């Protein structure tokens, strides 16, 4: 774990639970599989479970709570509150709802899911009055601090916050344990400013989208083979279904980087996802890396990657073959929205 001003200590590999409970984004998910995955994850030392109130409309929290019955004290739970629900009274009510779904009396890490402003809030609510007049960052984080004092949450965190947004929260006297951010071989924007800032302020970093929702795990020859919901980032053309970034995209550059990474994986006789996970885990500025899984087989594969140590030469080569893409994507860490409407600054 990256040194932090908080006492929170997370394992190097954590379990993302967006699929738990089943839903439109990831499809059906049986509770039996969830129970098996959670039980085995604890045995393997993957004791941090990352969820959010928005994941499958609360079903992820409910499913995780069911799977953790009788073993709550041996694990750490992280959940997230929508920025649309950050008005103090609403935030309190939603925190209590998460506690009930998780069947626990405290959440170890409670994060603001995205910064609180109109461009962010509009993706969490259709209430035009909330979009036009978002909750106050000050009021929201002072409420989180109060919930922390009351013992309902142990540590305060954020997700997808940029340097200026972090500075705004820190100026309130709030101790931030974690900033959860997108990070993988094809998404390296946080290296420019956010990672160095978090390290200087001793804010731990959790990396998510480590396999870019399957792009760094699948064996395909064309991006057209991917489900449209996986091709909405700035890597892909804005003409693709569901895209909202308004940019030309970098499909040829992304494919070239992916092919180069695949070639290195073959040379090292490693599965592509193992290599991608190990690369993320090797960054000393990222204390915990999340990987989701649907079944025991996927869990065992992820855990295998946790124990893989890449040589400095291989790490350097991976950085080199993805550098052109990193440069062209720029330092905007919002991979779904272009610079004009980025939610992170």
What pLDDT is recorded for position 87? 98
What pLDDT is recorded for position 107? 98
What pLDDT is recorded for position 146? 98
| Predicted TM-score (pTM) above 0.85 | yes
**What is the Cα–Cα distance from 166 to 180, expressed in whole angstroms?**
12
List pLDDT tens digits, range 122-179.
Answer: 999 999 999 999 999 999 999 999 999 999 999 999 999 999 999 999 999 999 999 9
Token pair, residue 308, equals: 């893989």
What pLDDT is recorded for position 24? 85
- Cα-Cα-Cα-Cα dihedral of 340, 323, 301, 211, to 10°? 10
| CA–centroid distance for 312 within its chain | 26
Which residues, 6+ apart, have CB-to-CB distance to 174 below 8 Å? Answer: 141, 142, 144, 145, 156
What pLDDT is recorded for position 221? 87
Cβ-contact 98, 61 below 8 angstroms: yes
What pLDDT is recorded for position 5? 59
Show me where the domains of the chain are located: 13-219+280-308
pLDDT tens track, the chain, 345 positions: 444 556 899 999 999 999 999 988 888 999 999 999 999 999 999 999 999 999 999 999 999 999 999 999 999 999 999 999 999 999 999 999 999 999 999 999 999 999 999 999 999 999 999 999 999 999 999 999 999 999 999 999 999 999 999 999 999 999 999 999 999 999 999 999 999 999 999 999 999 999 999 999 988 889 999 999 999 999 999 999 999 999 999 999 999 999 999 999 999 999 999 999 999 999 999 999 999 998 999 999 999 999 999 999 999 999 999 999 999 999 999 999 999 999 999
Nearest to 51 by CA among 12, 91, 99: 99
The CATH number given to 13-219+280-308 is 3.20.20.100
What pLDDT is recorded for position 67? 98
Buried b / exposed e along 290-303 (16+ C-beta atoms within 10 A): bbbbbeeebbebbb
In the block, tokens 């409309």 appear at: 57
């Amino acid at each position: 774990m990256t040194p932090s001003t908080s006492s929170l200590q997370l394992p190097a590999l954590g379990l993302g639970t967006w699929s738990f409970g089943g839903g439109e984004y990831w499809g059906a998910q049986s509770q039996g599989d969830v129970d098996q995955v959670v039980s085995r994850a604890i045995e393997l030392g993957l004791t941090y479970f990352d969820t959010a109130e928005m994941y499958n409309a609360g079903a992820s929290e409910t499913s995780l709570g069911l799977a953790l019955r009788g073993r709550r004290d041996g694990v750490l739970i992280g959940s997230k509150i929508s920025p649309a629900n950050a008005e103090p009274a609403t935030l309190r009510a939603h925190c209590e709802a998460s506690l009930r779904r998780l069947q626990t009396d405290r959440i170890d890490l409670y994060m603001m899911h995205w910064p609180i402003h109109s461009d962010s809030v509009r993706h969490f609510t259709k209430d035009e009055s909330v979009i036009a007049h978002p909750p106050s960052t000050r009021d929201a984080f002072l409420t989180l601090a109060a919930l922390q004092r009351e013992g309902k949450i142990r540590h305060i965190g954020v997700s997808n916050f940029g340097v200026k947004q972090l500075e705004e929260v820190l100026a309130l006297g709030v101790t931030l344990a974690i900033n959860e951010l997108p990070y993988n071989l094809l998404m390296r924007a946080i290296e420019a400013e956010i990672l160095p800032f978090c390290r200087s302020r001793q804010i731990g970093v959790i990396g998510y989208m480590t396999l870019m929702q399957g792009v760094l795990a699948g064996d395909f020859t064309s991006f057209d083979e991917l489900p449209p919901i996986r091709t909405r980032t700035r890597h892909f053309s804005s003409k693709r279904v569901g895209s909202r970034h308004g940019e030309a995209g970098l499909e040829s550059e992304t494919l070239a980087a992916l092919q180069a990474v695949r070639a290195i994986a073959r040379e090292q006789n490693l599965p592509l996802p193992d290599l991608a996970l190990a690369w993320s885990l090797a960054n000393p500025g990222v204390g915990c890396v999340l990987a989701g899984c649907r079944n025991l087989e996927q869990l065992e594969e992820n855990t295998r990657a946790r124990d893989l140590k890449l040589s400095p030469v291989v790490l350097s080569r991976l950085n080199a073959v993805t550098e052109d893409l990193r440069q062209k994507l720029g330092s905007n860490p919002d991979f779904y929205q272009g610079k004009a409407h980025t939610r992170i600054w």
